[in-house]
Amino acid sequence: MNENTSGHGPAAIVPAEVRRWNWGAFCLGWIWGVGNSCWIALLGLVPIVNLVMPFVLGAKGNEWAWRNRKWSGIEEFHKAQKIWAAVGLCVVIGGTVTVVGLTGGIVASVIIGVQSSPPYKMAIAQLEGSTEAKAALGDDVKAGWTTNSSVQETNGKGSMQIELDVAGSKGSGKLYVSAKKENSRWWLTRCELQTDEENKRINLLENKI
């Protein structure tokens, strides 16, 4: 078909070469819509509708952009849409990297905060000084990754729950720690080791350093 039907409105015939997925419309939504005179894309600003609109725009965006704007030909149309797609993908990838980076930073800061806290240090001292823990896991028993933690503090009072992996040359396990804070002083209410191999529980508070 040699006739250029672009910009002829809703009734315009859309060439087969134009009927394909539009990544720019999918990624950029209403921004792409404004740039391509597809005002229906503004529905992407409506709550709930915005959940499905990216997929609608991805599937129908090329057809709407062809019908709503005058293009010199299919080549110009595809060139413009490739630019939109490149920008859209960069925005999505950049946003994803930023979110992942921020999330990782928050998690890391929480872990560092827990590992520098008095309850954590007291629990590690109990672990490394326990003859029963060393018999089960090895003399070189050390704390590993903190898998779960929660902290509450206010006006000199607080509580903390810590769960972390521990391991030595003989085996591995989990260390469960609970602590209380009164008058700005922390003390342990639970420091229990559970070994992975024998599923044995060892109360480290009964083992004095």
Q: What is the pLDDT of residues 109-149, one digit of tens each?
A: 555 666 778 888 888 889 888 888 888 888 888 887 777 77
Q: What is the pLDDT confidence band of residue 43, given thresholds at 50, 70 and 90?
A: very high
Domain that holds residue 144: 117-206
Q: Is 14 part of any domain?
A: no
More confident residue, 122 or 104: 122
Could you tell me if 191 and 163 lie in one domain?
yes
Q: How far apart are CA 149 and CA 174, in angstroms?
A: 13
Could you tell me if 52 and 125 lie in one domain?
no
21-49 mean pLDDT:
90
pLDDT of 82 reads 92
Q: Is 198 part of any domain?
A: yes
pLDDT of 205 reads 85
Q: 101: helix, coil or strand? A: helix
More confident residue, 206 or 81: 81
Percentage of residues of the chain with pLDDT beyond 90: 22
Q: What is the pLDDT confidence band of residue 209, given thresholds at 50, 70 and 90?
A: very low
Closest CA to 26 of 64, 52, 63: 52
Could you tell me if 137 and 191 lie in one domain?
yes
Q: Is 13 part of any domain?
A: no
pLDDT of 56 reads 93
pLDDT of 57 reads 92
Domain boundary among 111, 135, 160: 111
Could you tell me if 152 and 180 lie in one domain?
yes
Could you tell me if 33 and 63 lie in one domain?
yes
Q: How far apart are CA 116 and CA 46, in angstroms?
A: 46
Q: Is 17 part of any domain?
A: no
Beta bridge partners of 55: none
pLDDT at 55 over 90: yes
Q: Is 171 part of any domain?
A: yes
Domain count, the chain: 2
pLDDT of 92 reads 80
R_g of the chain computed on alpha carbons: 30
Least confident of 78-92, 109-123, 160-174, 188-202: 109-123
Extended strands (E) in the chain: 142-154, 157-167, 172-182, 185-195, 201-203
pTM of the predicted model over 0.85: no
Least confident of 1-5, 77-81, 173-177: 1-5
Could you tell me if 163 and 124 lie in one domain?
yes
Work out whether strand 172-182 and strand 185-195 pair parallel, antiparallel, or are unpaired.
antiparallel
Q: Is 10 part of any domain?
A: no
pLDDT of 99 reads 61
Q: Mean of the per-residue pLDDT values for the chain?
A: 84
Could you tell me if 131 and 163 lie in one domain?
yes
Could you tell me if 75 and 96 lie in one domain?
yes
Domain boundary among 72, 89, 111: 111
pLDDT at 207 over 70: no
The first and second tokens of residue 155, run together, are 């006006």
Could you tell me if 104 and 146 lie in one domain?
no
Report whether 74 contacts 18 (CB < 8 A). Answer: yes
Report whether 69 contacts 34 (CB < 8 A). Answer: no
Phi, psi (deg, nearest 5) at residue 2: -90, -25
Place of tokens 């725009």: 57
